[in-house]
Amino acid sequence: MLSIAMKLLGSTTSPFARRLRIFLADEAYEFINLDIFAEKDRDLLTKNNPAQKIPTLIDGEQCIYDSRVIYRYLASKYQQTALTWSQENLLTLIDAANDSLVSMLVLQRSEIDTDKDSLFFNLQRERVEQVFSALDKEVRQGSFNDWNYLTICLFCLLDWAEFRNLAQWQHFSELKVLHQKYSSRAEVKRTDPR
Ligand SMILES: N[C@@H](CCC(=O)N[C@@H](CS)C(=O)NCC(=O)O)C(=O)O
């Protein structure tokens, strides 16, 4: 029986999809680039994930939603060690900033002025700044010394925030060094959304 190839539903611009595309750089899988706001692609997305979010992984009969769960699935499939609790917390920080910035982008696309001084926008800006500050300290303390999934996630957040011009992190010197250090990797360049 032919085995069904692994497929990742994503988009070339999604930072959540990019982390998995980089992680899967040396694996055999098909990347399906969706325009998630276009009707045809939306149908395919909804059929596979009623939450209508990317990334979504299809591995044979198994469909997995959410980058965090997809990573757990892949780490188990490729027999990689699970994230430690500290790494899980760092991933929560990265995801919190990423989610806030995705919300801000969708609001901007809904023609809402996100520069306004109002509670929702202020909360997102404050969260993102606090997360960047905490991550900058963690980089200094060595938590991101290896090019592993966690570092990939941080890189994708920083690079996407810059690409979409959603938040400034360049004044954090450790984040800046980390971003520069990994920008020239082949799998990073291959997945550059610009
Ligand atoms: N927690 C999710 C977040 C994924 C996410 O927010 N993806 C965005 C694209 S970058 C999305 O699908 N947005 C669709 C929408 O908000 O309607 C994960 O880690 O996979």
Alpha carbons 191 and 194: distance in angstroms, whole number: 9
Mutate to test the pocket of ligand 1, among 8, 37, 53 (most ligand atoms within 8 A of CB): 53
* Distance in Å, CA 2 to ligand 1 centroid: 32
Alpha carbons 77 and 142: distance in angstroms, whole number: 28
- 10-residue block means of pLDDT along the chain (194 residues)? 78 98 96 95 96 97 97 97 97 98 97 97 98 98 98 98 98 98 98 97
**Residues constituting the chain:** 194
The answer to whether the CB of 54 is under 6 A from ligand 1 is: yes
Q: What is the pLDDT of residue 1?
A: 47
- Name residue 122's amino acid: N
Q: What is the pLDDT of residue 130?
A: 98
Of 156, 53, 35, the closest CA to residue 95 belongs to: 156
Global pTM value:
0.96
Nearest CA to ligand 1 atom 12: 53
CA dihedral sign, ordered 107, 132, 183, 72: negative
* Distance in Å, CA 41 to ligand 1 centroid: 15
Q: What is the pLDDT of residue 109?
A: 96
Q: What is the pLDDT of residue 3?
A: 53
The answer to whether the CB of 53 is under 6 A from ligand 1 is: yes
